[in-house]
Amino acid sequence: MIDLEIPKKLTPLLQQARLVANNVFRPISRKYDTKEHAYPKELDLLAALLDGLNDGGGGASAKSLSREKGAGGDARSTDEPAKKKSRNGANLSTVLGMIELARGDVGLALTIPRQGLGNAALAAVGTEEQKQEYGDRWIAMAITEPGAGSDSAAIRTTARLDGEEWVLTGEKIFVTAGERANAVVVWASLDLALGRAAIKAFLVPKGTKGMTVVRLDHKLGIRASDTATIVLDECRIPKANILGSADIDTKKAFAGVMSTFDNTRPVVAAMALGVAQASLERTRQILREEGVDESAELLRLEAELEAARLLTLKAAWMADNGIPNSLEASMAKAKAARVANELTLRCLELVGPRAYAEDELLEKWARDSKILDIFEGTQQIQMLVVARRLLGKTSAELR
C-alpha cells in the first residue's frame, strides 16, 4: 500500500534539488528568459557535478537528480498489482526531485544535459545494447508534426527498411532540446495504411546525414529550453536503432512507445506542482509584506494543489511497483497542469501590479505554467484517456 510520507532516504535528493532551484536556477532565470536561444552554460557545471557524484558513488539522490526526465521502471510490467514489498524507486524520486527543481525554473530543469524525453523512452523500451550505447547521451523526442499534434496516430513521417538501414522521411515540430540533444527519438510509421499499429520509435544520433534542425521557435514560456523543428530527408540509421520490435501487431497498436508517457506524464505533473508551489509561496510572502490577510481563494487553490500532488505521487508509486498506471498518469497530469494554470494566474491577480515587475518571477511562472497543460498530451487528450480507461472504450470507440 502506498505510504503518503516522503521516504527519509530521499531527503538528501530533495535538499539538493531545492539548493539547485534556489541558488542555480532562480539567479539566472530572468537571464535566459530574455536570451531565449542562448545555452545556459551554468548547467554544464551542474551536470558535471552530478556526474561526479554518480561516478564516485554519491548515492541514489545524486543519480535521481541527474535523470529527472528519464524516470525508470515499466508501469506495464504486470496486469496485477505487484505482490512483492512496496517500494519507492526511480519514478517517485524523480517526481519529488522535479517538484523542487521546478520551483526554480521549468525551462532550466528541461535543459539539464542528458535529461531529454528521449532518455525516458530509452529507459522504457530500449534494449540493453541500446542503453549501453546511448545511456550517457542527451536524447530528445520528436513526435509532433504539422498535421499530427495530439493525435499521434496521424503521424506521417515514414520509416522503410533498406537492407541493414532504416530510411526516415518527414518533418517534426516542437522538439524539446532538438538542437542541443546528442540524439533524437523519432516516431515514424512503417505503413501509413495501418495507422497506430505501425508507429515505431527510432534512435537517430546527432549529425546523422539527412536530419536537419531548420528552425528554433520563440515561445511564451520555458524560454531557457530550446524548441526545434527538424526535417528528415532520406535519413539513414542502422537497423538496430529501432526502439522495440519492428513487428506490427494491430491488436497492441503502439502501446510500446506510448508506455513512455506512463512514466513521464507524472514528471510533467511534478513540474506543474513545482511552479504552482513557488507561486503560492511567493504570493503569501508578498501579501504578508503588504499587510494583506490571506484570502479564502488562496486556501482553496492550495487544497486543489494538494489533491494534484497526491495523484502525482500515486502514479509514480504505481510505476515503481509494476502496477499499470496509464489512467493515474493522465489523471495526475491533467489535474496538476490545470491547477498550476489557475493558481499562477490567480496569484498575479491577488498580488496586482507588483507581480509584473522585471525582477519578479510571478509573471514568468504564470507564462511557464501554460505549456504544462499542453505538451505530452493536452488537457483534452488526458480527459479522453481517462474516459476511455474508466468506460473500457478503445480510441476508435471514444474520440
Active site residues: 376
- A 10 A CB-CB count for 162 gives 10
**Separation of CA 203 from chain center:** 18
From 238, 248, 255, select the one nearest 130 (Cα to Cα): 238
The CA-CA-CA angle for residues 321, 326, 332, to 5°, reads 95
State the Cα–Cα distance between residues 395 and 387, nearest whole angstrom.
10
The neighbouring-strand residues paired with 140 are: 184
State the Cα–Cα distance between residues 66 and 48, nearest whole angstrom.
10
> Strands 242-243 and 183-189, how do they pair?
unpaired
State the Cα–Cα distance between residues 254 and 275, nearest whole angstrom.
32
Residue 328 amino acid letter: E
The grid coordinates listed for 391 are 468506460
CA atoms within 13 A on the CB side of 165: 9
The grid coordinates listed for 211 are 536530419
State the Cα–Cα distance between residues 301 and 210, nearest whole angstrom.
49
Q: From residue 305, give the alpha-carbon distance in Å to each of 273, 336, 361.
A: 7, 7, 19
> Strands 165-176 and 227-238, how do they pair?
antiparallel
State the Cα–Cα distance between residues 201 and 190, nearest whole angstrom.
10
| Cα dihedral 210/199/268/355 (nearest 10) | 60
